[in-house]
A and B are shown apart, each in its own frame.
Chain A
């Protein structure tokens, strides 16, 4: 099954990003394709490489980057939401990109499921 994920909250403030990540991992483990994670609202701040949490905490941006590179999951931040929040190509972790809401529509159309995580 092909699954798209929509993540609407930023890292740390809410559990949404953690649940989305755990869900994606479990879906991949079960043999599904996680096609893309689309970041909207404050969700766009999930992929800034300026993120530098304490060493004993998870690095949420690095984790998305790794998921993308290991499993070919596209990590896509909405351009309009990114511009509002100061997220640009310069600060993106590897494996992530900025794109338009049209791409989210494509993701919704081409996947069997679109699962939203937010708060």
Chain B
């Protein structure tokens, strides 16, 4: 694919997992898009950061867990994972609480990244 055809596509995950399907179906979308060699990034804002929390055990609620799927993103060349600093801090979490390595960004940096995108999809 020619470089000029590569689009910057950002996925914004803003919902907690399990309570709604948005994060899970968002992840499915990200995995498919990853095969198209676009410039993908994923940002976790608000309750979206809970999707990355370690220690999730969904066996008791009868819903398939998927937090470990985030670890597979690296294998799909989705390497740009950003977490909003305020969202993490206000939930009393740190990077150590998350299942994957992420880059923690201030809102200003994320805002600038958003402005560079061709497409932004919130989930």
Contacts and interface: CB of A to CB of B under 8 A. Distances in A.
State yes or no: do A and B come from one complex: yes
Interface of A: 6, 40-41, 80-81, 100-102, 104-105, 108-109, 114, 116, 118
Contacts of B35: 102
B85 to A, nearest CB: 25
B80 interface: no
Contact of A81 (B25, B121, B122): B25
A98 to B, nearest CB: 15
Contacts of B121: 6, 114, 116
A108 B21 contact: no
A104 B119 CA distance: 12
Contact of B29 (A104, A109, A114, A118): A104
Contacts of B38: 105, 108-109
A100 B32 contact: yes
Interface size class on chain B is: 10 to 19
Given A109-B5, A109-B38, A101 B29 contact: yes
Given A41-B22, A108-B118, 10 more contacts: A80-B28, A101-B33, A102-B36, A105-B32, A105-B33, A105-B38, A108-B38, A109-B38, A114-B119, A116-B122
Contacts of B28: 80, 101
Pick from B7, B29, B38 the residue with the most CB of A within 10 Å: B29
B25 A102 contact: no
26 contacts: A6-B121, A40-B25, A40-B29, A41-B21, A41-B22, A41-B25, A80-B25, A100-B32, A101-B28, A101-B29, A102-B32, A102-B36, A104-B32, A104-B33, A105-B32, A105-B33, A108-B7, A108-B38, A108-B118, A109-B36, A109-B38, A114-B119, A114-B121, A116-B120, A116-B122, A118-B122
